Amino acid sequence: MKKSLILLMLLVTLISCGGDNTSVDSVIGSGDLTAIKAKRTELNNQQRDLKSEIDKLNAYIDQHEKKERPALITAEIIKDTLFKHYVEVQGNVETDQNVVLNAEYSGVLTNVYVKEGQRVSKGQRLAKIDDGGLSSQVAQQESQLALAKTTFERQQRLWEQKIGSEIQFLQAKTNYEAAKNITNQLRSQLSKTIISAPFSGVVDDIISDPGQVVVPGQTPVIRLVNLSNMYVKASIPETYLKNIKKGTQVKVNLASINEDFTGTVRQVSNYINPNNRSFEIQVEIPNKDGLVKPNLIATVKVNDYSAEAAITVPENILMENAEGETIAYIYQPVNDSIGIAKRVILKTGLSYQNHTEVKSGLKKGDTIIKEGAKTLRDGQKVTIKN
């Protein structure tokens, strides 16, 4: 504006101070062709002189006037993508087949038939407790049971032939059933002197040694572990209950063994823990090499939200205006090298891994300004780096 005003004042001065002041209209009105041509020559000379003076002024102004240089930025063309949000929690590796076998009979541990690290089958004998003569009682009772059975069967045959009294038949039957019950009880007690494997697995630890006195429910004897059915248990805040169900995708990282697994939720708890307002999930994980052990710490990422063809932007380019609205800047080209920064108001969704989903305000194909966005103003000239 300042440059235009100076040029206008110079033009008026030159016209008013130089040459014949006769107006063009009056010369044309005279009809004198010679005068008209002379007036044209005069004006051409004035125009040439004026242009020379204007060029000098422009050169001086360009040299001394500070011009606004376009801000240097980087930009990226927006593409739609699959956006997934994960809730990240810590969990523990567990197995239901990790048990400590306790003594069920009081006595001296006489034999341990296995070694640590040995693989055993379900039902296999692992250890023996001294029965204190219980096996002899069982043998004696079995003899009495056999006699009671024989007596009952004979009495039953006589009763069917209408020989003998009913009371004799009933007594024989009662004696046989009583002997059978006593025998079963003694056999059950005797079976508790044998510690057997409840499932197939590996003997992880022999806790009690032969010769040690063991007490039912108090003395641990052997730890048995099966690592083929491992899973991760994690607690999820109750706010995610609606978005997480059986079959939800999960990523599991076991940092201590540098292993990553992808699986699905196999079980969602129906109980909310009142102490921390959370519910539990279970995720089955493979264990082909046997490296996964119970109680390993796991990082669990549960996919609670997914959106196809979503628009996402880097989280660090988003800003807030005075009204609390989320804003960003897009690049609008003016020519091949210069453009302007246009401010846009965005409606955003969830953020994950430094990217935020944009619900509205941007579309596929827009050029979003990244580096330099924090210092821009709406309508400012910008140029893209490289």
Domain match, 287 and 363 both:
no
Q: Is 160 among the domain residues?
A: yes
> What share of the chain has pLDDT > 70, as a percent?
92
pLDDT (0 to 100) of residue 223:
94
Q: Give the number of other Cβ atoms within 10 Å of residue 84's Cβ.
A: 18
Q: DSSP labels for 36-73? A: HHHHHHHHHHHHHHHHHHHHHHHHHHHHHSPPPPPEEE
Domain for residue 191, yes or no? yes
Residue 350 lies in a domain: yes
101 in a structural domain: no
Question: What is the layout of strands, in order, in the sheet containing 125-129?
Answer: 194-196, 125-129, 107-112, 213-214
Look at the block and give the residue holding tokens 């932007």.
313
Query: Using a CB cutoff of 8 Å and minimum separation of 24, what contacts does 34-43 make?
Result: 43/19
Q: How confident is the model at residue 354 (pLDDT cuts 50, 70, 90)?
A: very high
Encode pLDDT of 5-14 as tens digits.
444 454 445 4
Last residue of a domain, one of 246, 270, 305: 305
Q: Are residues 193 and 269 in the same domain?
A: no
Instruction: Output the domain CATH number for residue 261.
Output: 2.40.30.170
Say what the pLDDT of residue 111 is.
93
Looking at the structure, tell me whether residues 340 and 373 fall in a common domain: yes
The answer on 92 and 240 residing in a single domain is: yes
- What local confidence, expressed as pLDDT, does residue 332 receive? 93
Q: Which domain range does residue 317 map to?
A: 71-83+308-384
The pair of structure tokens assigned to 81 is 């993508």
In tens, the pLDDT along 156-207 reads 888 888 887 888 889 989 999 999 999 999 999 889 999 999 999 999 999 9
Split into its structural domains, the chain has a count of 4
CB atoms inside a 10 Å sphere around CB 67: 5
Rounded mean pLDDT, 111-124: 93
pLDDT digits (tens, 9 = 90+) for 198-232: 999 999 999 999 999 999 989 999 999 998 889 99
pLDDT confidence of 43, banded at 50, 70, 90?
confident
Q: What angle do CA 264, 270, 273 make, to 5 degrees?
A: 105
